[in-house]
Amino acid sequence: MTSPLYLAIDTPHLEAAHSLANSVRRHVGGFKLGLEFFCANGHHGVHEIAKLGLPIFLDLKLHDIPNTVAKAVQALRLLEPAILTVHAAGGRAMMEEAKAAAGKNTKIVGVTVLTSLDSVDLDDIGVGGTPHDQVARLAALVREAGLDGIVCSGHEVRSARKAWPGGFFVVPGVRPANGLSADQKRVVTPQQAMNDGASILVIGRPISQAQDPDLAARAIEATL
């Protein structure tokens, strides 16, 4: 059975990223490559990590006018990522264009509310209600646009799964019971996230900054 645990690799240094990914590849189900890695290493970097044989989650959070996002997704098709993110706040048309432009083996998921944001932050940017309210609104829009699923915190995944039983739910901001939250404000444990309906879990620093990343990955995997 494939592990639902995806390691977030957030470094601009390809050699360090490859070494980390190789050290934990037996105990994770895939690798999440974000903006920091992609801006530094581009297509070449993604290809190098993909050589390790695990699925790639390309977390670029695309957010622009529909035509621009569609062309960006087309430009990424050669990489064949297993998962690619767009911002749900970009609207229905943008998400529809992104899905239409994606390869048949790529899941397009909509980012709802970042795990670094809370109700005060949403109010600052003019979004009314709680993170839970906003996730529910955007999840419904993502589903209507024909995407595969959403990215949400573990605090919202239970209700999101209930509203969308067939959806694909990516839960970042996951921390072991004894882990530090750092800049994440809405975190849950790996086991809680899975019990509440997560499809995959994204974990970064608790593994990547551990003294022994492979041991840390094994310890988290054991809790699942």
C-alpha–C-alpha distance, residues 49 and 31, integer Å: 8
Can you tell me the distance from the alpha carbon of 92 to that of 113, in angstroms, rounded to the nearest whole number? 16
Enumerate residues 6+ apart whose C-beta is below 8 A from 70: 97, 98, 100, 101
Angle between helix 92-101 and 131-144 (nearest 10)? 50
**Close Cβ partners of 107 (under 8 Å, ≥ 6 residues apart):** 82, 83, 84, 148, 149, 168
Helix intervals (H) in the chain: 14-24, 35-50, 66-76, 92-101, 119-124, 131-144, 157-163, 190-195, 205-208, 213-222
The answer to whether 8 touches 34, Cβ cutoff 8 Å, is yes
Q: For this structure, is 61 an active site residue?
A: yes
Task: Determine how many CB atoms are found less than 10 A away from the CB of residue 179.
Answer: 19
**Catalytic residue (one of 32, 51, 61, 104):** 61
Give the type of residue at 101: A
- The DSSP code for 82 is S
Cβ atoms 37, 10 nearer than 8 A: yes
Instruction: List residues with catalytic annotation.
Output: 61
